Structure 1
């Protein structure tokens, strides 16, 4: 940790940008993993070599709802963080 104090301002900014990118990638991976697990469990009753039309429709709708929910929660959480920062 002592080496962080030796970084210049631009190096710290670059490090923060890299961390933000890694967090964004991790969040996207988590979203895809959870969405896949939940929608598969909900929509695929008997796995086979292909999806029938009702399974395809269920998967599409499930993914849309999951993404909408994820976006809503993310937006509300972001707004809450902003409010908390403004209070400080």
Structure 2
């Protein structure tokens, strides 16, 4: 495989653009599903001490808070990584100086 390929799929750079786009969309869907699964497991462990036929108001509030904190934390991390990337010079730009 060619190391100059910019895609995470190995040789996707020479692939049909529509197929490449489809693969990228499917990869994003998979990442989102993994994130939801991780969040569900984390919040379940934190908020469900005794599962029953109904969700009581305390557990419901805990789930809402857990999900909101998880989203806040994920957004903070993404923003921080974005800021870090913007502050670093791109490798190809640093070579042309």
Could you say which TM-score interval applies, normalised by the shorter chain? Answer: 0.7 to 0.9
**Cα offset for 1:85?**
7.5
Q: d(CA) in 2 for partners of 1:85 and 1:18? A: 30
> Within the alignment, does 1:69 sit opposite 2:69 as a pair?
no
TM-score normalised to the size of structure 1? 0.73
- If asked which structure has higher relative contact order (CA below 8 Å, sep 6+), I would say 1
**What's the secondary structure of 1:49's corresponding residue?**
coil
Task: Mark the runs of 5 or more structure 1 residues left unpaired by the alignment.
Answer: none
What is the number of residues matched between the two proteins? 82
Task: Mark the runs of 5 or more structure 2 residues left unpaired by the alignment.
Answer: 2-10, 93-97
TM-score normalised to the size of structure 2? 0.67
Alignment match, 1:46: 50
**Cα offset for 1:65?**
0.5
CA shift digits 1:32-75 (9 cap, x unpaired): 10110000100111011111101000000000010111222233
Aligned CA RMSD, in angstroms, stands at 2.6
